Structure 1
Amino acid sequence: MTEQLGPTEWGTSVGVGPWDGPWPAGEHWDPELLEHGDRRNVVDHYRYWRRDAIVADLDMRRHEFHVAIENFQHDHNIGTVVRTANAFAAAAVHIVGRRRWNRRGAMVTDRYQHVHHQPTPADLRAFATERGLAVVAVDNSPGAQPVERTALPRRCVLLFGQEGPGLSDASRAEADLVVSIAQFGSTRSVNAGVAAGIVMHGWIREHADPDAAW
């Protein structure tokens, strides 16, 4: 029985080499990639596509949730959050606080993901209110609703604090809903990047169409 490879698996090599045979027609194809090969971190559907064509196609697939993460101490988890948001086709990611953030963990997925800067939690709140988005803060604090038992709004901003201090009081005050992640061990909290992935996937399980996944 031949093992079937997934949408981002290529056996022993990463990516694909130069296009074999006559080049395909279409403006979304990148001549340089067709000639030299495509080693980017993209699913096979987008192999040899121009970057702007990929973004345009993703814009037709993106979901109705946004992701926001605080960046008051240059949190190294932000890159991981951006990469996960890209994997789940979030509408956009919002960096709250400092504009500069560590992109290493994003694995260049930020090139295909809309990333915005919000100077303060109040600015994020204003953005959400203008677009009819509920702000759902994720924090293991007293009064938080268990995310495992709470319906997430379809149109929302999932807001996460940074590693260490967690969600700021200012962000918690701006939230329409605060949810927590059930834990059963000795640690006080899970990694911020992990928490973001858990809650994003919770939204996907509740609102997305699995048949539309790669």
Structure 2
Amino acid sequence: MPGTPHDTPAEVGVGPWPGGPDAWPRLASGAPDPRYDPELLAHGDRRNVVDAYRYQTVEAIVADLDTRRNPFHVAIENWAHDLNIGSVVRTANAFNSAGVHVVGRRRWNRRGAMVTDRYLHVHHHPDAAALATWAAGAGPDGARLPIVGVDNVPGSVALETYVLPPRCVLLLGQESTGLTAAAQEVCDVVVHITQHGSTRSLNAGAAAAIAMHTWALQHVPR
């Protein structure tokens, strides 16, 4: 209604560390805790991070995430500067993937990632064959990581009936064309997400999220 004041959106994150510089986190020795960023402590932390990482430097957050990465990787073909790549990267961060692999063009559309790529290990491979070469020795003690394609192509297996490997690479294609023939050739298996409506395919970012969540349901203790 005219004249009715609008609610002010709640500010994201937290303000400056309460108590000022004298109250900033310190080590037992009394020295400043190096995990914390003085700029964030002084001015507040408005980043999209969980509360446990408030005020911490990117390097400190990455170091902590590295101690508990989930042993699956996410790869996506990048031939057309697909907007969905950023969304896939953001979801990979949410599931603490061991790494993200961009296959094809080195430059990718980062807009949807919302800077979450800073907390991940992002790798580049010029083509699917190069990704397969990397995966051949990327497991523990040089073991091979299986490559699981995600696409609704003929011969694919329903994801909901398939047990994903505990350590693997989930490979996705472009939004418009799906996995290329070259990418399908390097896959150990291609899985699809069973659909119940009229659309031919799922958004690539949504398919990636479902695949990662399925992996987590099967392999992350609850």
SS in 1 for 2:202: coil
Deviations 1:164-194 (A, max 9, x none): 1111000000001111110111111000000
Name which of 8, 12, 24 aligns with 1:14.
Answer: 12
Query: With structure 2 as the length reference, what TM-score do the two structures score?
Result: 0.88
How many Å separate the matches in 2 of 1:178 and 1:161?
Answer: 11
The unaligned stretches of length 5 or more in structure 2 are: 1-8, 27-32, 139-143
Aligned-pair CA distance for 1:27: 1.4
Q: Deviations over 1:124-153 (max 9, x none)?
A: 001111122100001101111100000000
- Deviation at residue 209 of structure 1 after TM alignment: 2.4
Partners of 2:150 and 2:213 lie apart in 1 by: 13
SS at match of 2:148: strand
Specify the SS of the correspondent of 1:92.
strand
Secondary structure in 1 aligned to 2:60? helix
Written as runs of structure 1 = structure 2, the 5 A alignment for 1:149-188 is 149-188=161-200
Is 2:55 the partner of 1:48?
A: yes
Asked whether 1:68 is paired with 2:75, we answer yes
Deviation, 1:12, is: 2.0
State the 1:13 CA deviation: 1.9
User: Computing the radius of gyration over CA atoms, which structure comes out larger, 1 or 2?
Assistant: 2
Return the alpha-carbon distance in structure 1 between the equivalents of residues 115 and 221 of structure 2: 26
Q: 1:94 maps to what in 2? A: 101
Please give the secondary structure, in 2, of the residue aligned with 1:193.
Answer: helix
Match of residue 34, structure 2, among 13, 17, 27: 27
Return 5+ residue gaps in structure 1 as ranges: 1-10
Aligned residue number for residue 147 of structure 1: 159
| Matching residue's letter, 2:63 | A
Rounded to whole Å, the distance in 1 between the matches of 2:40 and 2:198 is 49
In 1, distance between residues paired with 2:77 and 2:133? 16
User: Which amino acid in the other structure matches residue 91 of structure 1?
Assistant: A
What is the aligned-residue RMSD (CA, Å)? 0.9
Q: Which residue of the partner structure matches residue 3 of structure 1?
A: none
Number of residue pairs aligned between Structure 1 and Structure 2:
200
Question: Are 1:106 and 2:113 counterparts?
Answer: yes
